């Protein structure tokens, strides 16, 4: 063996891969990794077929198929009132994770500090570290996980380069409020701080609340990379299709990396989504669709010993299991999979130090029958 110095010595395989593999191995119901167990729209599949038959099988332009970028610009303007130029401000990516990595690597230099909020989606910190950046994390407290903005203020100094936000939030299912936006705006005003806003669950906001996209607020929008995901929006996580919105000066740097990371992404799928997006019901109907699943799953879980945490957005439901056991969440998640037949994600995986608050995350983007079967099993715990 040739000696190799690991760039990420503390990093193993992601918890999503690990838990899905265990679910498959044991035949457990997989409520761990976030993906639907029902199919995406047959119309969308038909549109991909059509694009392939029409010969759209070669490289897409580096930044993405123009028809798709135009549809994204129209959707963003309609929903959030901001104008993104498809030519200079929108890039189609191979899913959210690639877009996040690309944005971080485009602007983070050695010793730059990046603020994240933990629990945090697991791909932020490794990307920051690979660029030589320094992760500054602020821990959020269950069950409401509100951001204490006075604490954020204390983390800011002249090395702070970026704040990473995620709303709706994975794994906690919280959403940013208008008050959060006001605090954030006041904090970054006159500072050279960029924002990376992970908004992959932008269409999964419940109870009539609005999604506070950075795109709604010109001052924030001007300093933000906004990431979204068609995998989440159109129930097609396996297509690995997302995008990044950013003002031209940021997009220019983003594309310098993007072109050497993936060059461009799947052509026929881009044509298909461009066509599909013309019908706004394809995304406007999502809150009602997922809210029904959330309510159904929560009602079922009321009959178990798991305690429900709030769920304002995303397709994740967190539960506290103090009433059941004091096992570590990683151990309990494995035992729940093997002995009771339901796989979940232990939330300690979203903390760099593995902080364990005895909370598990379930994904409810599942058929009613799957949710019924899972609840039947969870009742026995």
Q: Between residues 18 and 160, which has the closer beta carbon with respect to ligand GLN?
A: 18
Q: Between residues 33 and 270, which has the closer beta carbon with respect to ligand GLN?
A: 33
145-204 positions binding ligand GLN, by CB under 6 A: 170
- List residues bridging with 319 in a β-sheet: 308, 360
Q: Between residues 107 and 345, which has the closer beta carbon with respect to ligand GLN?
A: 345
Phi, psi of 293 (to 5 degrees): -65, -45
Closest residue to ligand GLN in the complex (CB): 34
Q: Between residues 18 and 282, which has the closer beta carbon with respect to ligand GLN?
A: 18
**Could you tell me the maximum CA-CA distance found in the chain, to the nearest angstrom?**
58
Shortest approach of ligand GLN to residue 29 CB, angstroms?
A: 15
Q: Considering the rule CB under 6 A, would residue 300 count as an interface residue with ligand GLN?
A: no
111-150 positions binding ligand GLN, by CB under 6 A: none
Q: Compose the 330-359 pattern: x for residues touching ligand GLN by CB under 6 A, - for all others.
A: ------------------------------
Q: Considering the rule CB under 6 A, would residue 34 count as an interface residue with ligand GLN?
A: yes
Q: Compute how many residues bind ligand GLN; rule: CB under 6 A.
A: 6
Q: Considering the rule CB under 6 A, would residue 33 count as an interface residue with ligand GLN?
A: yes
Shortest approach of ligand GLN to residue 61 CB, angstroms?
A: 26
Q: Between residues 103 and 188, which has the closer beta carbon with respect to ligand GLN?
A: 103
Shortest approach of ligand GLN to residue 158 CB, angstroms?
A: 33
Task: Identify whether 33 is preceded by a cis peptide bond (ω within 30 of 0).
Answer: no
Q: Considering the rule CB under 6 A, would residue 16 count as an interface residue with ligand GLN?
A: yes
Q: Considering the rule CB under 6 A, would residue 105 count as an interface residue with ligand GLN?
A: no
Q: Compose the 75-104 pattern: x for residues touching ligand GLN by CB under 6 A, - for all others.
A: ----------------------x-------
Pairwise CA distance, residues 353 & 365, whole Å: 29
Which residues would be at the binding site for ligand GLN (CB under 6 A)? 14, 16, 33-34, 97, 170
């Amino acid at each position: 063996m040739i000696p190799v110095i690991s760039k990420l010595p503390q990093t193993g395989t992601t918890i999503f891969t690990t838990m899905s593999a265990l679910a498959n191995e044991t035949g457990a119901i997989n409520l761990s990794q976030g993906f639907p167990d029902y199919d995406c729209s047959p119309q969308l599949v038909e549109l991909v077929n059509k694009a392939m038959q029409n010969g759209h099988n070669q490289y897409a332009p580096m930044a993405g198929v123009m028809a798709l970028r135009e549809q994204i610009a129209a959707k963003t303007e309609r929903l959030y009132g901001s104008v993104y130029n498809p030519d200079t401000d929108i890039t189609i990516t191979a899913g959210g994770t690639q877009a996040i990595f690309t944005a971080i690597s485009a602007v983070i230099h050695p010793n730059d500090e990046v603020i994240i909020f933990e629990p945090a989606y697991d791909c932020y910190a490794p990307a920051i570290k690979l660029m030589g950046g320094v992760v500054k994390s602020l821990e959020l407290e269950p069950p409401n996980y509100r951001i204490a903005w006075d604490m954020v203020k204390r983390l800011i100094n002249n090395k702070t380069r970026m704040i990473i936000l995620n709303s709706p939030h994975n794994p906690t299912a919280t959403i940013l409020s208008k008050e959060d936006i006001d605090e954030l705006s006041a904090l970054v005003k006159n500072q050279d701080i960029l924002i990376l806003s992970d908004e992959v669950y932008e269409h999964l906001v419940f109870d009539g609340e609005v999604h506070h996209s950075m795109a709604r607020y010109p001052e924030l929008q001007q300093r933000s990379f906004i990431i979204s995901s068609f995998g989440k929006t159109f129930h097609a996580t396996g297509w690995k299709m997302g995008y990044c919105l950013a003002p031209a000066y940021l997009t220019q740097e983003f594309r310098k990396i993007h072109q050497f990371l993936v060059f461009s992404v799947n052509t026929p799928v881009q044509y298909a989504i461009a066509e599909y997006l013309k019908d706004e019901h394809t995304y406007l109907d999502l809150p009602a669709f997922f809210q029904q699943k959330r309510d159904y799953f929560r009602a079922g879980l009321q009959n178990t010993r798991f305690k429900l945490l709030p769920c304002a957005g995303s397709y994740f439901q967190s539960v506290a299991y103090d009433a059941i056991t004091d096992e570590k969440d990683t151990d309990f998640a494995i035992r729940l999979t093997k002995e009771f037949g339901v796989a979940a994600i232990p939330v300690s995986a979203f903390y760099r130090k593995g902080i364990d608050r005895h909370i598990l995350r379930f994904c409810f983007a599942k058929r009613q029958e799957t949710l019924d079967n899972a609840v039947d099993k969870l009742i026995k715990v």
